[in-house]
Structure 1
């Protein structure tokens, strides 16, 4: 089990920063926008922000994991709501609320969920998984973890072929894999058209990682594509450090789009590439006693 440093803020410590983040974002925001804003408000250093939650491939950060529970607690408390498109917002009840008492939030939510009866103590760091297990149905299903493990176990050339298929299914044309040709770190290239008019020549690189791609690796990729294309795509089964994300969009440099492990598995699911989705309908049968009585 990964030892979690004490300097990482607990989910209850992030409640008021999250509320402030949403107010700064205009009352609503995506998970990514909220995450970045909370980090900025709390002035969290990169060495804390980049600590992964667990050691599985493509694991989210510990801060992101705890912030997810922060959202869940505040939603149950009634001051947050979220849409089916993953946008979180302050509820009408939060209109005049600038801050909350984290202890009161935890107490009320636990009473509502019949958890931790007889105690008002906040969970200890080493018990965070058990203490936060208040809404199992809202946890991400484990198919993502299974799929990431499958991707990591693929051979490099098979993974490149998968990315080639993924890009073709996503609308790219003339997709070629060049990874084994010693093409300066470029694994492949293709053309993407926008609305049938504008075309962009894109070079891509595939990194079958369990860890994080660093800023220096993004710079190396940009160096390999420099002068050959104006657009790059870097796909990994792992994640990207914050410095890598900043480097990818650095002013004055050719932009590089980043696709991490979580985005990759979601795209594979969307395109039904190696992932089967079954919609299960629940049948509800009701006996109409009045109908029988009328016979």
Structure 2
């Protein structure tokens, strides 16, 4: 089983080993399936998503590994999303790969500057420079746009009134399917005497299952104090409720997150980072600006001709 945090260096050798077994172009999806089947990666590594929520970290790291191999001419691309090994790649020995993966030596042709360390240019999800693969370039640009949008969404929310924020959270929960998407099953509280509860969503028409909501529009960077989390837990107890959702535009303290693990009610904390992701995913407060389709050759169509 691979050790440590998953990164592309763990995938270079097995990816090249798989491509050695055939002379045909092999799509990244197929390579990914083979590696997942043959290598015992922890489920957490295989399921973890990039911030965009559209691609796994595993798949992203595999693309970086293949890109490095292509840059060094050990494999070649069909110009889309498929690769095959080259004559140079077939001559590259396991010992060569072991030194490369360990970071002791760079791949022989990839780095132009003598002595440049193997880790140079690495970002959280892969290298930031020297990549010619257009799919990786598009993915990186998409991630930049996505992160900018998340930041702007939170800024725009903070510029609105507290009442706007409370209604926004109700709109989000309805779009996610809570309350059977029926506004008549939503009670907008947020009045004095409601014990810090801003809203309640009935999960059924009789109101036997209710989720209570607290929305705090805090300035980004200003943490929600643990006292606010305690107050919300107390309000749930007063309503004899066992489900609560506390949402903020900022973030929660470590003590606040630890507190909810000790209370009987089930409380979910959603900070600004997760909130912005949910809003974008459910198209609340955002709209589609552009859509691009990336197509590739249908191998089954041509192979079955």
Alignment of 1:232 with 2:247, yes or no, is no
CA RMSD in angstroms, aligned pairs only: 4.4
Question: 1:161: which partner in 2?
Answer: 167
Question: 1:18: which partner in 2?
Answer: 5
Q: Is the 8 A contact 2:243 2:265 kept in 1?
A: yes
Per the alignment, do residues 253 and 19 of structure 1 end up closer, same or farther by CA in structure 2, a change over 3 Å counting? same
Alignment of 1:145 with 2:151, yes or no, is yes
So what's the TM-score if we normalise by structure 2? 0.52
In the TM superposition, what is the alpha-carbon distance from 1:203 to its structure 2 partner? 1.1
Q: Is the 8 A contact 1:186 1:221 kept in 2?
A: yes
Q: Is the 8 A contact 2:99 2:105 kept in 1?
A: no
Question: 1:52: which partner in 2?
Answer: none
Question: 2:64: which partner in 1?
Answer: 76
Q: Is the 8 A contact 2:188 2:199 kept in 1?
A: yes
After alignment, is 174-183 or 148-157 more displaced? 174-183
Q: Is the 8 A contact 1:73 1:105 kept in 2?
A: no
Of structures 1 and 2, the larger Rg is shown by 2
After alignment, is 212-221 or 131-140 more displaced? 131-140
**Inter-partner Cα distance in structure 2 for 1:223 and 1:106:** 59
* Match for residue 202 of structure 1 among 197, 201, 211: 211
Give secondary structure in 2 for the equivalent of 1:233.
strand
Superimposed CA distance per residue, residues 52-73 of structure 1 (whole angstroms, 9 cap, x where no aligned partner): xxxxxxxx9xxxxxxx999966
Q: Is the 8 A contact 2:186 2:202 kept in 1?
A: yes
In the TM superposition, what is the alpha-carbon distance from 1:160 to its structure 2 partner? 1.0
Superimposed CA distance per residue, residues 117-148 of structure 1 (whole angstroms, 9 cap, x where no aligned partner): 334337799x979x952465444222222212
Q: Is the 8 A contact 1:235 1:260 kept in 2?
A: yes
Question: 1:221: which partner in 2?
Answer: 232
Q: Is the 8 A contact 2:103 2:118 kept in 1?
A: no
In the TM superposition, what is the alpha-carbon distance from 1:205 to its structure 2 partner? 0.6
Question: 2:94: which partner in 1?
Answer: none
Q: Is the 8 A contact 2:6 2:58 kept in 1?
A: no
Q: How does 1:62-141 map to 2 (within 5 A)?
A: 76-77=64-65, 104=103, 107-108=106-107, 117-121=113-117, 133-134=128-129, 137-139=138-140, 140=143, 141=146
In the TM superposition, what is the alpha-carbon distance from 1:247 to its structure 2 partner? 2.5
Per the alignment, do residues 100 and 257 of structure 1 end up closer, same or farther by CA in structure 2, a change over 3 Å counting? farther
So what's the TM-score if we normalise by structure 1? 0.54
In the TM superposition, what is the alpha-carbon distance from 1:256 to its structure 2 partner? 0.3
Q: Is the 8 A contact 2:242 2:264 kept in 1?
A: no
Give secondary structure in 1 for the equivalent of 2:103.
helix
* Match for residue 274 of structure 2 among 245, 263, 271: 263
**Inter-partner Cα distance in structure 1 for 2:99 and 2:206:** 51
Per the alignment, do residues 242 and 124 of structure 1 end up closer, same or farther by CA in structure 2, a change over 3 Å counting? farther
* Match for residue 285 of structure 2 among 274, 279, 290: 274
Structure 1, gaps ≥5 residues long: 1-14, 36-59, 61-67, 79-98, 285-295
Structure 2, gaps ≥5 residues long: 8-38, 67-97, 130-135, 297-305
Number of matched pairs: 208
**Inter-partner Cα distance in structure 2 for 1:101 and 1:242:** 40
**Inter-partner Cα distance in structure 1 for 2:159 and 2:46:** 35
**Inter-partner Cα distance in structure 1 for 2:47 and 2:137:** 22
